[in-house]
A and B are shown apart, each in its own frame.
Chain A
Amino acid sequence: MLTADIRTIQRELVKLTREPLLLMTVATIVAIVGIFIIYPVLKVATYPKLEDFSAVFANSRWQRAMVNSAFITVISTLSATTVGFVFAFTLAYVNTGWRRLFKFIAILPIVSPSFILGLAYILLFGRAGIITQKVLGLSLDMYGWQGIWFVQTITYFPYAYVVLKGVLRGVAPSLEYAGHNLGAGHWRTFKDIVWPLAMPGTCGAALVVGMMVLADFGNPLLIGGNFVMVPTEAYMQIIGWYNLSVATVLALTLLVPAMVFFLAQHYWLSRGGYITMTGKESSLQRMELPQAVQKVLVIFCLGISTVVLLVYGVLFIGAFCKVWGFDWSFTLTNLEYVWGRKTEIINSIHYSFLASLFAACFSLILAYIVQRRQIGINRGLDFMAVLPGALPGMFMGIGYLMAFNKGLLKLTGSEWILIMALAVWNLPTGYAAATAGLQQISPSLEEAAANLGSNTFRGFKDIILPLLFLPAASGFVVAFLRSLTCLSVVVFLVTPKTVVGTISILGLVGDGRWSSAAAFTVVLISLAFVVLYIAEYFLGKKGKSLDL
C-alpha cells in the first residue's frame, strides 16, 4: 500500500514537471502555508521551556484560570447549544409570523464584534447600568462568571444555530410521518426519531461553540472582573509584562483542547450517515406540533430575541447620550468623536478588505488544487487550510508577534502583519466556501475542457473560475465581516499607526468612556450591515445567499 502511494506521488510529481505553471503555483502555496501557518505555530509551541510549564501549572492563579476557562466553556457551550437548537427547531417546525425576526436575530451576533455583548452587559448591568442603577436603583458589582456565562450564551448561540438548521433540515419529514403512522406521539417521535438523527450534528455544533467560547477573550476581559481566565491572563502577560514564556504556555493550554474540539467536530459533522438522504425529493411539510408546544417555543425565542435587541438598543442609546449613567441627553458628539478617529475605521476597512481578498483568492486556488489535482500532499494541504480554524485567535496573534519581528520576515509594526494574520485566520472560511462551490461543479466539466484541448490554466480560467465566482464572493464577504469585527487576532499586532476599530473600542471601554465606545461599536456594526445587505442583494439576484 505504501509502495503504491509512493508510486502515485512520484507519478504525480512527474506530471507536475510537465505543467510548470501548476508546479510554481503548488510551490508558492507550500511556501505561504509554511511561512504563515506552520512557522508561527511552531514558534509558539517551541518557545517555552519545561520550567516555564512547571511554573505556570504550579501557580495557583493560573491553575484557577484553567479551571475557570474549562468551567465557562462547558456551561456556555451547553446553554448556547441548547438555545441554538431551540431556535433552529422552532424555525424548522413552527409556522410563525416571527420567522423573519428570529432569522435576523440569529445572524446579528455573527456580524458584530464578539465583545459587544460584554459592552452591552456593562451598559445594562454595570455600576452605572440602565437596569441596575436606573431601574432597580442598585449599585452592584455584576461582574463575574454569571455575567460571562450569560454573555457567551447570547454571543455564541447563533453559531450553533447555523450548524443546527442544516442538521434538522437533513431529517426527512417522511420519517416523522412514519413514526406517527406507527403510533408514536410527538414526544416519542422527537425522542426516538428526530433527536437520534440530529444528535451527531448537535455534538458537532456544540464543539464549534466550545472552540469559540474557549478562545474568546474580549467578553471575559470586559466583564470578568476577578474571575480569571486563560485568554485574559495571556493578554495581561503580554501587554502588561511582555512575559512571553508564560503567555506562550497559556496559549498552548488553549490550543490543546481547541485542537481536540476541532478534530472531534470534524469527525461528528462528517458522519453523513445520520443525515437521511432518501434519494427522493420530498414535498412533505413537517408534522405540526401541538399548539401549546409551538407557543412555548415561540415565547422562548421571543425572549432571546428581546435580549439581543436590548443589547443593540442599549448600544444605540449609549452612542447618542452625553455621559452614560449620568447625562442621558441626546448628543451627536460621540459620533463626531468617532469621525475624528476615522483613520481607525478606515484602517479596519482597508486591512479587512485586503485580508479577505487574499483569503478568498488563495483559498480558491488551494481548494482547487486539493480537490482536483492529485499532487501527493493533498491531505496535508487540506489540513493546513482548515488548521487556522482550530487556532484560538490569541494564539495566532502571539505566533505572528513572535514569528515576524526580525530578519527577512520582519512584518511587525507594519499593516502587513495584520493583513496576513487576518487573511490566514479567515482561510478556513474561504476554503470551505470554495470547496462547497467545487463540489457543485462536476469533474467532467474540466475533463471536457481538457478533452477539447484546454490545459490546466485555461481550464481553471475558462471553466472553474466563472463557476466559482459566486461562492468565492460569498467567502470574501464573510471573511470581510469577520475581519472587521475581530479583536483577539489583532490585539497584539497593532501599533499606534495601525490601530483598528475593535482595538479603539477596547481602549475606550478600558477608560470607562462607555458612550464613545458604544458610538464606535454602532458605526462598526452599521458598516458590517451595509456590506452584508449589499452582498445579500447582489447574491440574491443570482439566486444565492451568504453562507454565514
Chain B
Amino acid sequence: MTSDVAIKFQNVTKRFDAVTALDNISLQITRGSFTTLLGPSGCGKTTLMRLIAGFYEADEGEIFIDGRQMNGVPPHKRNTPLVFQDYALFPHMTVYRNISYGLELLRPGREAIAARVAGLVKMLGLAGLEDRFPKQLSGGQQQRVALARALAVHSGLVLLDEPLSNLDAKLRVEVRAELRSLQQELGITNIYVTHDQDEALSMSDVIVVMRKGRIEQIGSPQEIYFRPQNQFVASFVGTANFITATVTAITSQEVQLKNEQTDIVVNNYAYPVEPGETVHLVIRPEAMSLIDEAAGLSGNILRGRIKMNSFLGAKTRYWIGEGSLQYVVDDYDLKANLTMGSEVLLRLDGSMVHLLQERQMEGGSCE
C-alpha cells in the first residue's frame, strides 16, 4: 500500500444477523483528500465509517489505516477522531474540557494542552465560550466544539458522520464552506458521511456513492454528476430525466439516436455502444431549455405541456409532460410567463447528455 493511501478496505463484509450491511467492499482513500460517502439511509455508509473508527469489527476482509492492519484493534487505540451526528459533547464538561479530553489521555502536559486548546478555540471562533457547558451553546457552536475536540488529538484524519444534519439550512451552507476551507488549510484527510447530495458535491474531492451495502461509483463530483455509471447514481445525485432511444449511427464526435418524438444527436464520450442498440439518455434539468419555435433546428427537439411549476429564486423548475413522458426542466429566464397547460418546445443540449446502456439500468430503481 502506498503512503498516499490513508485508509484501505480490502474485501470487507459486515453483517448484522441476516442483513448484510457491507458486501465485499474494496476502497482506498487518499491521504489529504475530502472523501464523502454518499447514499440513502441503509446503504452502509455509516457502517463503513464505524468500521474505520473501530465500533464494529468486519466479518470478512481487512482494514488498513496508515498501512497498519486494524482488524481487532479497539477504538481507543486507533486515533480516528469522529465528529458525531449528535455531536456527543460530554454534558457535564465545559467546552474547554470537552476539547481537551482526548489530549489529556495522551498526557502531553498542562501547558501543551492549554496551548492546543487555545489555538483551536481561536481557529473555530469559540473564544469566550471555554467555560460554558454544551447546553448553553447554540447548535452551530456545539458543532464547532465537536470539531475542535476531533482536531485536538493531532490525528491526520477526521471522520464526520452527518455533522450538519442538526443545523438549519442557511447555517448548513455556511458551515459547509468553512469545513472545506479548514480541511484544505490543515491538509488533513476527511471522511464525510451524508445523504445530502448538495453537501457531497460542494465539499468533496472524491465521492463514494453507495447503495445496499455496495459501492455504486467512485469519482470526483463532476464525474459523479455528469458521468453517472448507472441509473441509481444518475437519479440519486441530482435530478435526472431518462429518455429511451435507439442508436442509429456513431462517429468519433457524436452518437446519433432516434426515438418516437425526435432525432437526437449527443457528444460521444467514448461510449461502448453500437448501432441498433437501445440506450437511455440521462438528461439533467439544465440540459434542456424552453424555446419559442423550432425554426432552423433539425433535431434534439421535444414537446410537451406544462403540468406544474415551482419558482426557486434564480430559476423556475417546470414539470412538462407528453403522454407517458415527463421531463423536469430548469428555466433561468425569469421574464418568461408560461401558463399551466400551455404547449412548449424543449431543446436538448447534446453536449450535456450522458448515455447509459441497458445493463446499467438493470435493477436501478430510484430511491
A452, B84: Cβ atoms under 8 Å? no
**A463 / chain B contacts, CB cutoff of 8 Å:** 90
User: Could you tell me if B101 and A451 are in contact, using CB atoms closer than 8 angstroms?
Assistant: no
User: Any chain A CB within 8 A of the CB of B177?
Assistant: no
Q: Report Cα–Cα, A4/B16, bound state, in Å.
A: 9
Given known pairs A453-B79, A458-B105, the reply for A467 and B153 (CB within 8 Å) is no
Minimum distance in angstroms from A330 CB to a CB of chain B: 53
A462, B105: Cα distance in complex, Å: 11
- Residue in B17, B76, B81, B88 whose beta carbon sits within 8 Å of that of A455 in the complex: B76
Once A444-B84, A448-B82, A450-B76 are accepted as A-B contacts, the answer to whether A467 and B91 lie under 8 Å apart by CB is yes
Cβ contact within 8 Å between A451 and B106: no
Which of A1, A451, A459 is within 8 Å of B82, CB to CB? Answer: A451
A449 within 8 Å of B by Cβ? yes
How close is B202's CB to chain A, nearest CB, in angstroms? 26
Taking a contact as CB atoms under 8 Å apart, the answer to whether A445 and B90 are in contact is: yes
B75 interfacial contact with A, CB 8 Å: yes
Give chain A interface residues in 431-478, CB to chain B under 8 Å.
442, 444-445, 447-455, 458-459, 462-463, 466-467
B85: chain A residues at CB < 8 Å are 444
Chain B, interface residues (CB within 8 Å), range: 20 to 34
Given known pairs A447-B55, A458-B105, A467-B92, the reply for A442 and B74 (CB within 8 Å) is no
**Chain A interface extent, by class:** 20 to 34
A11 within 8 A of B: yes
Interface: A100 (CB within 8 A): no
The binding surface of chain A is classed by DSSP as: helix
Q: Is the CB of B80 within 8 A of A451?
A: yes
Residues of B within 8 A of A455 (CB): 74, 76
CB contacts (< 8 Å) of B76 on chain A: these are: 449-455, 459
Residue A280 is within 8 A (CB to CB) of chain B in the complex:
no
Interface residue A18 (Cβ < 8 Å from any Cβ of B): yes
What chain A residues lie within 8 Å of B81 (beta carbons)? 451-452
B105 and A447 within 8 A (CB): no
From 77 to 105 in chain B, residues with beta carbon under 8 angstroms from any chain A beta carbon are: 77, 79-82, 84-86, 88-92, 101-102, 105
Q: How far is the CA of A32 from the CA of B8 in the complex (A)?
A: 45
Contact residue among A11, A18, A442, A452 (Cβ-Cβ distance under 8 Å from B102)? A452
The residues of A that contact B211 with a CB separation of less than 8 Å are none
Separation of A454 and B103 alpha carbons in the complex (Å): 10
Within 8 A of A (CB), among B120-177: 149, 153
Docked Cα-Cα span, A18 to B54, in Å, equals 14
> CA A451 – CA B55 in complex, angstroms?
9
What distance in Å separates the Cβ of B302 from its nearest Cβ neighbour in chain A? 44
Partner of B101, one of A4, A19, A452: A452
Q: How far is the CB of A425 from chain B (nearest CB, A)?
A: 32
CA distance A19 to B54 in the complex (A): 15
Residues of A within 8 A of B75 (CB): 447, 450-451
Residues of A within 8 A of B91 (CB): 445, 467
Instruction: Compute how far the CA of A14 lies from the CA of B60 in the bound complex, rounded to whole angstroms.
Output: 17
Contacts of B149 in A (CB 8 A): 448, 452
Contact B102–A453 (Cβ < 8 Å): yes
Q: Are A444 and B106 in contact (CB under 8 A)?
A: no
Name the residue of chain A whose CB is nearest to the CB of B17: A4
Q: Are B17 and A448 in contact (CB under 8 A)?
A: no
B70 within 8 A of A: no
In the complex with contacts A453-B79, A453-B153, A463-B90, A448-B84 CB distance below 8 A: yes
Contacts of A4 in B (CB 8 A): 17
B287 within 8 A of A: no
Residue ID in chain B nearest A458 by CB atoms = B105
Listed from nearest, the 8 A-B pairs whose CB atoms lie closest are A452-B102, A444-B88, A448-B88, A450-B75, A453-B105, A450-B76, A444-B84, A451-B82
Q: Can you offer 9 A-B residue contacts whose CB atoms are under 8 A?
A: A442-B86, A442-B88, A447-B75, A447-B88, A450-B76, A451-B76, A452-B76, A454-B76, A462-B101
Q: Which residues of B contact A (CB under 8 A)?
A: 17-18, 53-55, 57, 74-77, 79-82, 84-86, 88-92, 101-102, 105-106, 149, 153
User: 5 more A-B contacts (CB under 8 A) besides A450-B74, A451-B80?
Assistant: A447-B53, A449-B76, A453-B79, A454-B101, A463-B90
Taking beta carbons and an 8 Å cutoff, which residues of A are in contact with B?
A: 1, 4, 11, 15, 18-19, 442, 444-445, 447-455, 458-459, 462-463, 466-467
